[in-house]
């Protein structure tokens, strides 16, 4: 079985996207039997995320002191969630599903392994739009795109069909703004549907 580790690129997200990512991690960890977290630990993560969000809102006035405070809050939250990522990685022991259930994304441990799940999402030009893109898969005749709202589901029943296309991009429309959505895609060949990509999460604009 291929092993994975937690992808730490979340610290490079913009602050609004980072806040949404951190809130989703907290939601995924609550009442998760795979990761025994105390109320105090979850409350600390919640408090750090809440402070970052409030400082970000306050910083829109442009005051230098408040902006500096926001960056301090961001650094504190980043360090706490990096530590949480290390904890999840230790408990998961390279198991992909456990890492994803904790709200984090994955990267491969094996050098040179081709990742068939190269897949991305970005905000569209209009409210409620998300543009999905992926690398072309050899042999694929088309691609199927799915999404879910809120917490990453543990099975397939809460995924919804966004659409299908012959191109390596697809625009999902009419999503509710300011909701956290997860997205994934699978290639369609002449015989069957291929492996689903690793899910990615976006805050809908």
- Whether the pLDDT of residue 67 is over 70: the answer is yes
The rounded distance, in Å, linking the Cα atoms of 45 and 102 is 14
- Give the pLDDT mean for 147-161: 81
Q: State residue 171's pLDDT score.
A: 96
Query: 14-28, 43-57, 182-196 — which one is most confidently predicted on average?
Result: 43-57
- Whether the pLDDT of residue 76 is over 90: the answer is yes
Q: Which residue ranges form the domains of the chain, and what is each CATH number?
A: 4-107 (no CATH), 114-203 (2.60.40.10)
Q: Maximum CA pair distance of the chain? A: 60
Q: State residue 13's pLDDT score.
A: 83
Q: State residue 178's pLDDT score.
A: 87
Q: Which two tokens stand for residue 188?
A: 């369609």
Q: Is the pTM of this model over 0.85?
A: no
Better pLDDT: 179 or 114: 179
- Whether the pLDDT of residue 115 is over 70: the answer is no
Q: State residue 192's pLDDT score.
A: 67
Give per-residue pLDDT as tens, 155-188: 677 889 999 898 999 999 999 998 889 999 988 8
Q: State residue 21's pLDDT score.
A: 84
Q: State residue 191's pLDDT score.
A: 59
- Whether the pLDDT of residue 97 is over 90: the answer is no
Q: State residue 72's pLDDT score.
A: 94
Three-state secondary-structure class, residue 151:
coil
To the nearest whole percent, how much of the chain has pLDDT over 70?
Answer: 91
To the nearest whole number, what is the mean pLDDT of the chain? 84
Residues 6+ apart with CB under 8 A from 54: none
The rounded distance, in Å, linking the Cα atoms of 87 and 12 is 20
Q: State residue 109's pLDDT score.
A: 40
Q: Which long-range contacts (C-beta less than 8 Å, at least 24 apart) are formed by 118-124? A: 118/197, 119/183, 119/184, 119/185, 119/197, 119/198, 119/200, 120/200, 121/183, 121/200, 121/202, 122/202, 123/202, 123/204, 123/205, 124/171, 124/173, 124/205
Q: State residue 25's pLDDT score.
A: 87
């Amino acid at each position: 079985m291929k092993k994975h580790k937690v992808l730490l690129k979340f610290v490079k997200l913009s602050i609004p996207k980072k806040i949404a990512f951190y809130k989703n991690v907290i939601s995924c960890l609550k009442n998760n039997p795979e990761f025994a977290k105390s109320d105090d630990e979850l409350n600390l993560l919640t408090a750090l995320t809440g402070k970052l969000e409030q400082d970000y809102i306050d910083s829109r006035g442009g005051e230098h002191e408040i902006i500096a405070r926001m960056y301090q809050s961001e650094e504190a939250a980043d360090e706490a969630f990096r530590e949480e990522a290390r904890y999840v990685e230790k408990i998961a022991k390279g198991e992909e599903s456990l890492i994803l259930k904790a709200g984090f994304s994955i990267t491969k441990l094996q050098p040179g392994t081709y990742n068939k799940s190269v897949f991305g999402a970005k905000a569209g030009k209009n409210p409620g739009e998300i543009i999905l893109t992926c690398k072309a898969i050899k042999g694929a005749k088309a691609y199927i795109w799915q999404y879910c709202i809120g917490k990453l589901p543990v099975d397939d029943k809460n995924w919804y069909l966004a659409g299908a296309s012959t191109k390596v991009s697809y625009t999902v429309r009419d999503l509710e703004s300011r909701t956290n959505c997860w997205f994934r895609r699978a290639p369609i060949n002449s015989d069957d549907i291929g492996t689903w990509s690793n899910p990615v999460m976006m805050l809908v604009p």
